[in-house]
Chain A
């Protein structure tokens, strides 16, 4: 009967232990057991609903509550949180940036504290329940170090092997000493006694050393272990523990993934070129000496010029042979003019009397006019330089004018570009159709909206040049700057569209960070395809309905 009773008692204990184990899962409980948090973080609890994420931290006799939106992880600034405390219901006071504070002396009591929070923000009302387990004070202070058994009683209870060995050694030594005494051999007995005493002292000293060690180490631990600073860290299972204050600092934002069907995309290398209809070059048609326009100065780089504005003048030089040629021609013309002038005068007089026909006078007058015109042009050509005018409105993009410089015909003196009208020329291996949407990404991360303008037929490096106009503002772009063009192509793809910044390139490929718990993030390897300048298409690795970090993923990747 006693055996049976004992068996029954054992079974009862076992059953009780089993039942006190993990409670069966219900709503409001995490199914997947999260790995335990590091011992140094402050006691905390968390709850999640469709609208909110609430993290409660017990710190310094107060309950610090961090409230964020569930889907975006944005702090909820204007919420009212009512907490059911053992002293009744209390309002938590806002402490800035989605943090709320409630003095909670009752939290000092070790054990699990069940917290019921009623959260109202705008139209959304939620009741969240969470539990904060406050550890008992002693392990918390010693950094969860298992307390070493102290004193002989404790060591006996702990069956310290050193103590047991020392005791047995002393026993054997004592027996030997007694045997020696009984055999009346004082020498060996004394030697054994001395050995025993020495051993005793040595062990005592060791014990003291050991004991002296322990508090020192404890003190060192106490000094080294910071107060619960709750720093972000990588947990042994690879997930990241990022406390809410750190999340606020890193400005982590998430987005709920949703499947989408998108056009297939091509990624093309391209560069910025001027719009052919809104840019121009200023070249000299004749060789000559450059000189500033009437305003007195060449337009400087970046100066805005208007169409028809004179930017420079070119004075063609006159060669020595030309000068003598012109002198000769000038003399000839002057001579002919003098002759024809006299003839006109004479004909004028005779025509009145009828001795000379009227037509002869007219011919002579016409000849005189022609000669004078030729003489005048000869003068003008020597005096008048060629004016270089701006062909379009725009900004001086390139200037090569130096006063006094000799320009060769066809030299580019100025290039004028309208900075608001630029093109992107990309090289494509398969000609994209007239895509209705295209975009370009700059190396610095900015993106440009593009409109298809046309594709060439002539091969260039085994590829076809495709031109796009930049829509909207094109400020800050340089000609020749390299861009990556994303153009739509035939066919559609299905996947999850995510901002480009949410994908982190690591050694093991592309990863995104999933927000699995209020303070937990897990890296998920994904297959990524280009979508457009600002987004990528995740075609594998994660499913819809997950919360993926869109801002601060790079920073999260640095957490060790």
Chain B
């Protein structure tokens, strides 16, 4: 039993690093933010950020908040993110952020710890 669990742990350890700019399961881009993965999905009226843990398992976002700063039309746009439902944080933007905006997303956990991921 112990051997099996050890083998399992070793397997987890040697898991290949998850992809760069990988397409997420919601059709956005995924970046690493501390212990989390954030998936950035842009909509014409704002952005959605899906939070998952290192193993791509959704993380409930109740109590979380965040900020997305995206470069839209050559200017930085600051988009506050609020929990929507499940693992989705959502924010409204004044300008359509476009298909693949550059920028970064910062997530603040309920305990005040922050993590951020950047998108190029």
B17 at the interface (CB under 8 A from A): yes
Structural contact, B103 and A127, CB atoms closer than 8 A: yes
A331-372 near B? 1/0 per residue, CB < 8 Å? 000000000000000000000000000000000000000000
Structural contact, B54 and A24, CB atoms closer than 8 A: yes
What chain B residues lie within 8 Å of A118 (beta carbons)? 69, 76, 78
A127-152 near B? 1/0 per residue, CB < 8 Å? 11100000000000000000000000
B89 at the interface (CB under 8 A from A): no
B54-70 near A? 1/0 per residue, CB < 8 Å? 11000000000001011
Interface residues of A in 1-57 (CB under 8 A from B): 3-4, 7-8, 10-11, 14-15, 18-21, 23-29, 47, 49
Structural contact, A116 and B69, CB atoms closer than 8 A: yes
Most buried by B among A25, A27, A127: A127
B102 at the interface (CB under 8 A from A): yes
Sorting the interface of chain A by its residue count into under 10, 10 to 19, 20 to 34 or 35 or more gives 35 or more
What chain B residues lie within 8 Å of A21 (beta carbons)? 13
Most buried by A among B15, B31, B102, B118: B118
B12 at the interface (CB under 8 A from A): yes
Considering the chains assembled together, what is the distance between the CA atoms of A113 and B120 in angstroms?
A: 22
A102-121 near B? 1/0 per residue, CB < 8 Å? 00000000011111101010
Considering the chains assembled together, what is the distance between the CA atoms of A7 and B102 in angstroms?
A: 46
Considering the chains assembled together, what is the distance between the CA atoms of A49 and B16 in angstroms?
A: 25
A261 at the interface (CB under 8 A from B): no
How far is the CB of B90 from the nearest CB of chain A, in Å? 18
How far is the CB of A136 from the nearest CB of chain B, in Å? 15
Interface residue total, chain B, C-beta cutoff 8 A: 44
B48 at the interface (CB under 8 A from A): no
A86 at the interface (CB under 8 A from B): yes
Checking A14, A18, A127 against B69 with a beta-carbon cut-off of 8 angstroms, the contacting residue is A127
Checking B5, B9, B16, B21 against A27 with a beta-carbon cut-off of 8 angstroms, the contacting residue is B21
What chain B residues lie within 8 Å of A29 (beta carbons)? 32
Considering the chains assembled together, what is the distance between the CA atoms of A421 and B81 in angstroms?
A: 72
Considering the chains assembled together, what is the distance between the CA atoms of A123 and B75 in angstroms?
A: 9
How far is the CB of B66 from the nearest CB of chain A, in Å? 10
Structural contact, A24 and B18, CB atoms closer than 8 A: yes
Considering the chains assembled together, what is the distance between the CA atoms of A111 and B54 in angstroms?
A: 20
A84 at the interface (CB under 8 A from B): yes
Interface residues of B in 81-114 (CB under 8 A from A): 102-104, 106, 108, 112-114
What chain B residues lie within 8 Å of A18 (beta carbons)? 9, 12-13
What chain A residues lie within 8 Å of B76 (beta carbons)? 82, 118, 120, 125, 127
How far is the CB of B100 from the nearest CB of chain A, in Å? 12
What chain B residues lie within 8 Å of A10 (beta carbons)? 2, 5
How far is the CB of A110 from the nearest CB of chain B, in Å? 12
Give B118's nearest chain A residue, CB to CB. A28
Structural contact, A26 and B20, CB atoms closer than 8 A: yes
Given the interface pairs A29-B32, A116-B116, the reply to whether A11 lies near B104 with Cβ below 8 Å is no
Checking A15, A23, A116 against B35 with a beta-carbon cut-off of 8 angstroms, the contacting residue is A23
Checking A3, A24, A128 against B17 with a beta-carbon cut-off of 8 angstroms, the contacting residue is A24
A208 at the interface (CB under 8 A from B): no
Q: Which 3 residue pairs across A and B have the least CB separation, nearest first? A: A11-B5, A26-B32, A24-B17
| 17 A-B pairs with C-beta separation under 8 A | A3-B1, A14-B6, A14-B9, A23-B34, A23-B35, A24-B18, A24-B54, A27-B31, A28-B32, A114-B113, A114-B114, A116-B69, A116-B106, A123-B74, A125-B71, A127-B70, A127-B71
Binding site for A on B (CB under 8 A): 1-2, 5-6, 8-9, 12-13, 15-18, 20-21, 30-32, 34-35, 37, 54-55, 67, 69-71, 74-76, 78, 102-104, 106, 108, 112-120
Binding site for B on A (CB under 8 A): 3-4, 7-8, 10-11, 14-15, 18-21, 23-29, 47, 49, 82, 84, 86, 89, 111-116, 118, 120, 123, 125-129
